[in-house]
């Protein structure tokens, strides 16, 4: 696999993860500000993650999962929303 293909693949995964986080947040009728307040994270940071503009750390993903009351597994399950 070429370096460009790897980078495109990573970008696709990061965007899919962000979309999944947004879907779980919306299911719980939370705004980005609400989620940010729950996990002590800036609303802009939540927005960047949901839009796939940044690659969140494991610690950040853990905090998001805790705030959404889901497991980390839920964030990576390809059979879920």
Q: For the whole model, what pTM was predicted? A: 0.88
For residue 40, pLDDT over 80 is answered with yes
Mean model confidence pLDDT for the chain: 92
Helix locations, 1-81, DSSP H: 3-27, 32-39, 43-50, 58-68, 72-76
d(CA 1, CA 40): 39
- Domains annotated for the chain, with CATH where assigned, are 3-74 (1.10.260.40)
| Residues ≥6 apart with Cβ < 8 Å to 44 | none
5-28 average pLDDT score:
92
| Predicted confidence band of residue 77 (pLDDT cuts 50, 70, 90) | confident
């Amino acid at each position: 696999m070429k370096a460009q293909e790897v980078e495109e693949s990573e970008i696709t995964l990061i965007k899919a993860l962000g979309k999944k986080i947004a879907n779980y947040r919306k299911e719980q009728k939370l705004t980005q500000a609400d989620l940010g307040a729950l996990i002590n994270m800036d609303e802009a940071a939540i927005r960047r993650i949901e839009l796939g503009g940044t690659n969140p750390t494991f610690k950040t993903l853990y905090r998001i999962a805790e705030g959404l009351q889901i497991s980390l597994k839920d964030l990576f399950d390809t059979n879920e929303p």
